[in-house]
Amino acid sequence: MNDEASSSVTLYDVSRLCKVSIATVSRVINNSDKVKPDTRDRVREAMKQLGFRPNSAARALAGQQTRTMGVILPDISSGFYAHVLKGIDRALAEKGFHALTMFSHDLEDEKALTHRILDERRVDALILMNLELPDSFIEEIAESRTPLVLLDRPSSIRKISSVSINNEQGIKNAMAYLARECGYRNVGVISGPPGTYDADQRLMACHRFARRYGLCIPPGFIVNGSFDHDAAYAVMDSWIREGKKLPDAMIALNDVMAIGCWNACRHHNISVPEELGIIGFDDVEYARLLGLTTVHVPLVEMGIKAAELAIAACDQVSPARMIMMDTELMIRSTCRRREDAPPARKKKEKK
């Protein structure tokens, strides 16, 4: 295998070795068209012998496709995106595609990046994951010939596919669990920054399903965090200091804030889940380690779906699709049935 060191072996070399035209070799590379099985094998053999690999730039130039997908993520270097990226990469690799990964610092940066990538024809499709991208921008680049897939941000634009989290379903399950299985009567909510897609959706769902399941959200116990640990800690801490009567449980709209709550409780010797139940959202890596009850978001699977949509979109023919991923409630140790609770309805206690 691989006689020639690693200098460029070209189509032409292969064609000479087995005395066919470069067109034929090209055909067997793209294992398309009809090449006589006999010649095909001969060519394959020669390619192997010479260690031939098609030059990707030449293919891109001549064939108008790069077999590369652009992936633009916001600059939050967390495990969250790593998981999505892993899913994307896995699905791409399976189809012989690659991921050109970029992290954006801010919105302007992201826009510039996007335009550049698009104009330079570096990619066959683009996967964008940024909740804050304004519609106007999305519409603008939707004009481009390059197909787009939006992650965690459904779009109303027809041409654009998207993969997002079924926040409603996630909150619904969480609320149902808190009410029915744990017998909680009232829950506090720590939300994310208003205006963020996920935060707004989850918060709305909280209201809706709290009502549906007969949970009360006491006024004053619904606050906006900023999706980060310290803000949530501060809120919880101040409530405790002020001696407010806490609700039965807190639902934090992401795990980091849930842990912020929890840490504040720990600091004040409020025991979880005995005195206060805590439930998060996302199921980040360490949620399992800590035993945080939370709503699992299938990040890897979202990545896979996004990549599949992106690949499909390259055909131009397949219509855009909007996919919504269901979440899964991860019952761990930060919520527990209250002794004074009325008997659970329907489902039995799990685990």
- Figure out which of the listed residues 2, 41, 48, 62 binds DNA, where binding follows CB under 7 A: 62
Stretch of 21-29, 101-109, 166-174, 209-217 lying at the interface with a second copy (CB under 8 A): 101-109
Contact 68, 93 (CB under 8 A): no
Q: Closest distance between DNA and the C-beta of residue 121, in Å? A: 8
Give the one entry of a second copy, DNA, none that residue 45 binds, where binding means its C-beta sits below a cut-off of 5 to 8 angstroms depending on kind: none
Q: Which two tokens stand for residue 139?
A: 């519409």
Residue 12 within binding range of a second copy, rule CB under 8 A: no
Minimum CB distance to DNA, residue 92 (Å): 19
> Hey, which residues between 162 and 191 contact a second copy (CB under 8 A)?
none
CA–CA separation, 228 and 254 (whole Å): 8
145 contacts 313 by C-beta, under 8 angstroms: no
Cis omega (within 30 of 0) for bond into 273: yes
Q: How many residues bind a second copy (CB under 8 A)?
A: 56
| Strand order across the beta sheet in which 277-279 lies | 222-224, 187-191, 249-252, 277-279
Query: What separation, in Å, do the N-terminal and C-terminal C-alpha atoms of the chain show?
Result: 56
Ranges within 232-291 binding a second copy (CB under 8 A):
256, 259-260, 263, 284-286, 289-291
Q: Which of 1, 5, 8, 350 binds DNA (CB under 7 A)?
A: 8
Q: Contacting a second copy (CB under 8 A), which of 15, 24, 26, 66?
A: 66
By the rule CB under 8 A, 108 interacts with a second copy: no
Site for a second copy in 25-54 (CB under 8 A): 51, 53-54
Q: What angle do CA 326, 332, 334 make, to 5 degrees?
A: 110
Q: Residue 263 binds what, of a second copy, DNA, none (CB under 5 to 8 Å, by partner type)?
A: a second copy
Q: Are 27 and 56 in contact (CB under 8 A)?
A: no
101 backbone dihedrals φ, ψ, rounded to 5°: -100, 135
Q: Which of 55, 166, 186, 224 binds a second copy (CB under 8 A)?
A: 55
- Is 56 within 8 Å of 67 (Cβ atoms)? yes
Separation CA 169–CA 253 (nearest Å): 13
Nearest C-alpha neighbor of 152 from the set 111, 205, 197: 197
Angle, helix 37-50 to helix 22-29, in steps of 10 degrees: 90
Q: Which stretch binds DNA (CB under 7 A): 30-38, 242-250, 257-265, 282-290?
A: 30-38
Q: What is the CA radius of gyration of the chain?
A: 26
Q: Name which of 34 and 348 has its Cβ closer to DNA.
A: 34
Q: CB 107 → a second copy: shortest distance, Å?
A: 15
Rule CB under 8 A: say whether 90 interacts with a second copy. Answer: yes
- Tell me how far apart the alpha carbons of residues 118 and 112 are, in angstroms, rounded to a whole number: 10
Side chain identity at 115, as an amino acid letter?
Answer: H
Q: Are 59 and 275 in contact (CB under 8 A)?
A: no
Per CB under 7 A, does 51 bind DNA?
no
193 binds a second copy (CB under 8 A): no
Name which position in 101, 173, 224, 226 contacts a second copy (CB under 8 A).
Answer: 101
Cβ-based nearer residue to DNA, 18 or 312:
18
Q: Which does 112 bind (CB under 5 to 8 A by kind): a second copy, DNA, none?
A: none
Alpha-carbon distance values, 106 to 74, 88, 112, 131, 230 (Å): 7, 22, 10, 12, 22
- Is 325 one of the binding residues for a second copy (CB under 8 A)? no
> Which of 160, 82, 127 is CA-nearest to residue 307?
127
| Interface contacts to DNA, rule CB under 7 A | 8-12, 19-24, 26-27, 29-30, 33-36, 38-40, 52-55, 58-59, 61-64
| Interface contacts to a second copy, rule CB under 8 A | 5-8, 51, 53-58, 60-61, 66, 68, 71, 75, 77-79, 81-83, 85-86, 89-90, 93, 98-103, 113, 116, 118-122, 143-145, 229, 256, 259-260, 263, 284-286, 289-291, 300
